[in-house]
Chain A
Amino acid sequence: MKNKHVNAIVIGAGAGGGAVAKELSFAGLSVVLFERGGWAKYDDVYDDELHSQRIRALGQAYGPDDARHCRVIENKDGSTKIIRPSDGGFSEVAACVGSGTVSYGAMAWRFMEEDFKLKSIYGAVEGSSLSDWPISYSDLEPCYEKAEWEMGVSGDETQNPFSPPRNKPLPMPPFSHNKEALILKDAALRLGWHPFPIPMLRNSVPYDNRPACYRMRTCVGFACPVNAKAGSHNTVIPKAIETGNCELRINSLVSEILVNDNGKIYGVNYFDADNKQQTQSADVLIVSASAIETARLLLNSKSKFFPNGIGNGNDWVGRNLQGHLYTGAYGIFKDEIYDDFGPGASIALCDFNHHNEGIVGGALLANEFIRMPYQFSEIRPKGEPYWGLKHKEFQRNNFKKVARVMGPLQEMPNFNSRVTVDPSVKDFWGIPVARLSGERLDADMKGANFIAEKAEKWLLEAGAEFTWQTASKGKGVSGGAHQAGTCRMGNDPKKSVTDPFGRVHETPNLFVADGGLNVTNGGFNPALTIIALGYRVGGYIANEWAKGNRFK
């Protein structure tokens, strides 16, 4: 049976797609929201570390599954390796309704004003395709506010002197600090730094008919058992569905964007839950499948009008793949400092995000989320044995005496760090898979060392008796859960993929709404920025639609 034509197709029910679907369905557009996975349930994994999205030793809790998905990593020497979702380096984002917003740590950062104009502030960086965003912080500010109030963010930005200007405070008070954060807070103040509670997409008090967090330990890598953690799956998507205008089509994997004989984009092919190929048509299409999968879909959608893939006339789709280089330090304290009190991450500072001599961008610093026992078995200072009695004694003596401070270093965009489609490797459905290649730049290594030194200094001031840095991991292929940059937004169609509203330059009716748009990725976890971009793109389409624009 043929699917009924709708006004809009949204591909990917994650951070960006959820906000888009909500904006469009509230504006009266009929929407089909595609998601390759299904609904995730906390009870499916409970407190099972080996399935958590952070460890995935026995497979990903919330997908994608190893049986049907893979990618190819291309090393610097040209050699390649097929990797599965549960392998390191896959750059997975959960494949379920809500995607990463189901299993993330839910830090709710706004990028700073500086993050939108790095090139103007710092100038060119060697080897980097660094550029300013085509929009400023103030353009995105209303969308940040909408994200914070519609999804629910707790925190107190007045305690952060580096916080960008805002029109409205956060809707919920901050979380109280755990034991570790209280100790770190005093230490940071002694150093003259500016600690504050981390803004979180979590309920510190009941909000929006969801309960307050009850602070158990499955807070990152897991779904929240009580929905105190906000994601698109328990906020904007149910609201979109409630309007009656949005149909969520789960277990449906979009394989190709379709172009008619006049070169006009008119719909998608997808594989349904029974792996049967179907077609869905629409007036306007929004791809929000995450930076890697969005690029893959555009590149796989070839036709005589788009021989190199849609939007790829100037070879920019898939370029500038960025993630975050996590960098920081561990410290062992004399007494127990860890109290296993979720979400764990509680205190942060932005003293090292900008305006540090010789460092472009930088990173926030924060303490780490809840600790998991197997994960801890791989946390050792250099030279400490990983097996034998010494392993066991370290594990037993230090599990609650170790603290970690770290931050997501803003990587410099690299034109040669990229997503392509592999010429021979295909997934379960026969679709060519994403191939990741390129590497980080020297500037990133320098920034990583700088941040690691600051982290170590913080831990020492807090009383750690022994510390070690975790910065020198090698350049490697970028990506990760914070993947961004592959469909850069810009004013110049020759040097970007979309316009400042996410519309793909070469098309009237195809939009991107995920981290792919990010020109640069901030020294922050990017979820709130991706959600804000979803509101921006969705809001723009809804406004235009109301004016009669049908994107022809």
Chain B
Amino acid sequence: MDVKNKISRRKFLSLSLVGIGGISLLSLGALNKKPISKWRFFTENEVLILDALVEQIIPTDESMGARDAGATNFIDKQLMGPYQQFQKDYRDGLKLLQQSSMEKFNSKFEELNWENQTILLKLIDKDELKHSHWEKGADKKFFSMVIRHTMQSFYGSPKHGGNKNNVSYKMLKLDTPIIIGQNRYK
């Protein structure tokens, strides 16, 4: 007979509750030092900007856009792995994008309306952003990188954290999972 069976059910439950409470108290204590986050690399503020940015890159229409398909989660995950070399680019780039948004529209990027977000990104894309804090060409380079990574998240295998529910494969009418073609042709 093991220890657990010696304890009555009620006693066991109350012990469990104490346990849970204890954990949450500990968590609160930790909050003062480092916020608990589901993100591996990004801060909550960065996530807000990046969510808005990836949604501009692949917007929601009749099917899911990049934000809901998990692009930010994908990028966050890869930044701690194969994208490690791009950590600084994201940290700096998101900050500068926010500055450009404040400069031009006096509003945070994620709070801009859709049209103004698009206007700002088109200026960056065409290398026409003036009076900015970016080094020459750095804004376009940053945006190109985010486009590339967003595409990878959306069209790559869902196992990497994007392309939720195979949304892009369905959009492209691809067999998912792969169907063997042996009998389709003679």
Binding site for B on A (CB under 8 A): 46-50, 57-59, 66, 86, 176, 178, 214-218, 339-342, 372-374, 376-378, 386-389, 391-393, 395-396, 399-400
Contacts and interface: CB of A to CB of B under 8 A. Distances in A.
A517 B143 CA distance: 43
B116 to A, nearest CB: 14
Interface string B76-119: 00100110000000000000000000000000000000000010
A57 B185 contact: no
Contacts of A49: 155-157
Contacts of B141: none
Interface in B155-180: 155-157, 159-160, 168-169, 171-175, 177-180
A178 B152 contact: no
Nearest to A391: B58
Given A66-B82, A388-B59, A47 B173 contact: no
Contacts of B2: none
Given A341-B184, A377-B151, A395 B171 contact: yes
What is the size category of the interface that chain B forms with chain A? 35 or more
The secondary structure that dominates the B interface is: loop
A400 B169 CA distance: 12
6 contacts: A58-B78, A58-B152, A178-B185, A339-B184, A387-B57, A396-B63
Contacts of A339: 184
B157 A50 contact: yes
Given A49-B155, A215-B182, A374-B156, A387 B56 contact: yes
Contacts of A217: 178, 181
Contacts of A50: 152, 156-157, 160
B49 interface: no
A388 B56 contact: yes
A378 B56 CA distance: 17
Nearest to A339: B184
A399 B155 CA distance: 12
A216 B186 CA distance: 14
Given A50-B152, A374-B152, A216 B180 contact: yes
A386 B143 CA distance: 11
A176 B186 CA distance: 7
Nearest to A177: B185
B120 interface: no
A395 B172 contact: yes
A25 to B, nearest CB: 36
B47 interface: no
Contact of B82 (A86, A176, A342, A396): A86
Nearest to A49: B156
B61 interface: yes
A341 B172 contact: no
A46 B150 CA distance: 21
B180 A214 contact: yes
A58 B56 CA distance: 23
Nearest to A51: B157
B147 interface: yes
A387 B147 contact: yes
A176 B185 contact: yes
Contacts of A178: 185
A214 B63 CA distance: 32
A58 B186 CA distance: 37
Given A86-B82, A386-B147, A57 B152 contact: yes
